[in-house]
Chains A and B, each alone.
Chain A
Amino acid sequence: MKKLRSSSSWLPTLLFLLLVFGTMQFVSSLNLISVYWQQVFMSACIMAISALGLNLIYGYTGLFHLGQAAFYGIGAYTSALITYYWSRMGPKLPIDFLGLHFDLSMTAMFLLALLAGALMAAIVAYLIGLPVLRLTGDYFCIASLGFNVIVYVLFNNADRLIPVMKGARGMVGIPRWTSWPWVFIFTVLALFGMRNLVYSSVGRAIISIREDEDAADVMGIDTAKYRTLAFVIGSLYAGLAGGLYAHLYTFLHPTCFAWIKSCDPFLIVVFGGAGGMTGTIVASLVWTFILEGLRVLLPRGFESWRYVIYPLIMLMIMLFRPGGILGRRELGFLKPKGIEVARVERVPAAASAGSDRPEERGSKDVSSED
């Protein structure tokens, strides 16, 4: 599996990342930004990870997936259960290293829990994918929605099996271990991982499935395998994001993982431009800040207008830029160097062939150029 490296752009990339990290650390340690905005920013990054996963599933593979919140929840609850018990019963190993105080055993378990949450989401995705991934287009959509509902009902009743999950009452007592450095590290790792995946031969196979599944088949690409792979990895991302979420908000309620919440990452992916990583990240930030910004900006007595204005904004943006704010354009180190991957040029929407080609197999979303 050959990875493409954009060797010429690693220095600016590194500087940029350091700048972002440094700025946040700076403003948070001097309390220039309140804990409130720090949490908002962190939750935007966590949403970005989940949206990146969905971008892989929808943007790159073309699977219409409205069940991302289910995997988010699986990751959240799994990691929460592990850390809940460990933080109470596990041995402690306090370390004092270069002025950094932390507990080695707790930190290690946190990472393990996040990993476990992500893996659990991936395993469940694999299992549900076996029957469901054969479905196409809108049927896959409704099946993923249905799966989300099933998982939601399970969460609501989980306290019969595992009382500490407290079902519909909400799980409490999760240690608050997510902090800005962790969120940053995981977001960057997620981005790098996604970028390398997408520009590798695996990624090219996945994209070919989106563009024309029959042609891909003919070229010898095992479409079933790659679809499953994309679905599993996308859900892995969701599970990781869920774990980070659980340890930031420390309270899990099944309503956070209902099917209507799956629409959020989906909106973000489309809003940012499906099939583009930069767009997804930018859209996550913009989306979160629109919602929180409205909370802050709306005058007293107009709180209920938040969810009136937000969908109008979404509507406007979709009407004027149906390809999403960034489309498939990538920026910085996310740009492919070397071999061009099915780069498609901007074509005015009216002149495009239109996406209503008769769907031979009940459709992959043959998205038109942005």
Chain B
Amino acid sequence: MTYFLQQVVNGLQLGFVYILMALGYTMVYGVLRLINFAHADVFMVGAFLSYYIITRFHLGFLPAVLTSIVGCGILGMVIERIAYKPLRNAPRVCSLVTALSMSIFLEYFTALNFIFGPDYITYERPIKAIHWDLGGVRITNILLIIIGGSVLMIAFLYYIVHRTKMGKAMRAVAYDKDTARLMGINVDSIISLTFAIGSGMAGVGAVMYCLAYPQIWTFMGIMPGFKAFTAAVLGGIGNLAGAFVGSLIIGQIEVLTTGFIPSGSILRDAICCSVLILVLMFKPTGLFGKRE
């Protein structure tokens, strides 16, 4: 029984780590109907930025998170300007191609020796790890920080989207861009803002991720990105609550598959995708997705 509970706790940690990235995917999709493949690499850049803050400048956890947020936010906006804005009136798939190109470019460019380098770097945790054993189940302060940080960010995001005028404008643009423009909303700024916030989320997510899995390298974003994206679609892409629920589900599936099915660890990607396809068969727009 404790074994099962421990695995559930593991799954919670994993799920919460995916949430922030999934939120970023979902936000951008909601506004632009674009699958932002480069999001995973913005995440990677955030991880590296926070690593440099901690290791080179010897600043603590909070400056690392802030740098990551700001760095990712800016990078996200820049990518949007270069690769997506010029193609806003072109078929959606063109932006997909540029997104893929940006993703490949970021991965390989940062791998060059004079940027981040190709190596796997061990991430120094800025906080000491403490653990408590509750009835045989091990809880670490890292888990609590991850959950706490994610919940904080989600609350913040909810506040912005549902309680501010800016958020209202974002929802309007997501619903119908052209009409929003007619209503006097500066669609370009709102889109940039969405990217900034979504990427900032990825930045926080990156630091959380590195706390749990202390290793960074320039291709690190691909797998978590894919899982977070799957989670976002599972919950209904474009839907914030969906991203939350989807991430938690994927986290549990991954961990419980590994823990209870022999050779589960190598099958877990396939099982996650099968679950996704099954869900889509019954709910073609995801668990909470709306048919527009």
Contact = CB atoms under 8 A, between A and B. Distances in A.
Interface of A: 58, 64, 131-132, 134-136, 138-139, 141-143, 145-147, 149-150, 152-154, 156-157, 259-260, 263, 266-267, 270-271, 274, 304-305, 307-308, 310-312, 314-315, 318-319, 322-323, 349-350, 352, 354-356, 358-363, 365, 367-368
Contact of B87 (A141, A154, A318, A360): A318
Interface string B81-100: 01100111111111011101
Given A270-B96, A318-B94, 16 more contacts: A58-B93, A131-B281, A142-B233, A143-B276, A150-B270, A157-B267, A266-B97, A304-B108, A305-B112, A311-B102, A314-B100, A319-B98, A349-B90, A356-B33, A359-B33, A367-B93
Given A154-B270, A271-B97, A311-B104, A349 B89 contact: yes
A274 B91 CA distance: 10
Contact of B105 (A131, A145, A270, A315): A315
A323 B103 CA distance: 21
Given A308-B105, A310-B104, A311-B104, A362 B291 contact: yes
Nearest to B105: A311
A8 B178 CA distance: 48
Given A142-B233, A271-B97, A368-B90, A360 B292 contact: yes
B230 interface: yes
Nearest to B179: A358
Contact of B277 (A147, A308, A352): A147
A142 B276 contact: yes
A130 B281 CA distance: 10
Chain A binding surface, main DSSP class = helix
Contacts, number: 154
Contact of B98 (A136, A143, A152, A318): A318
Nearest to A142: B233
Contacts of A271: 97
B29 A319 contact: no
A352 B92 CA distance: 13
B273 interface: yes
Given A308-B108, A356-B33, A362-B292, A153 B267 contact: yes
A153 B264 CA distance: 11
A283 B266 CA distance: 36
Nearest to B29: A138
B280 interface: yes
Nearest to A134: B284
A288 B14 CA distance: 39
A126 to B, nearest CB: 16
B109 A149 contact: no
Contacts of A132: 277, 280-281
Contacts of B233: 138-139, 142
Interface of B: 29, 33, 35, 82-83, 86-94, 96-98, 100-105, 107-109, 111-113, 118, 176-178, 222, 226, 229-230, 233, 237, 263, 266-267, 269-270, 272-274, 276-277, 280-281, 284-286, 291-292
A157 B266 contact: yes
21 contacts: A131-B277, A135-B280, A139-B233, A139-B237, A139-B280, A146-B272, A147-B273, A153-B266, A153-B270, A259-B226, A305-B112, A308-B112, A311-B102, A312-B105, A314-B97, A318-B87, A349-B89, A355-B90, A355-B92, A362-B285, A363-B33
Given A318-B97, A356-B178, A139 B285 contact: yes
A356 B177 contact: yes
A65 to B, nearest CB: 11
Contacts of B88: 354, 356
The 3 closest A-B pairs by CB, nearest first: A146-B273, A322-B90, A153-B270
B109 A267 contact: no
Nearest to B270: A153
Nearest to A353: B89
B100 A150 contact: no
A311 B29 CA distance: 22
Contacts of A368: 89-91
A150 B91 CA distance: 29
Given A143-B280, A270-B93, A355-B91, A315 B112 contact: no
Contacts of B263: 157
Nearest to A160: B263
A138 B273 contact: no
Contacts of A266: 97
B97 A136 contact: no
B211 to A, nearest CB: 27
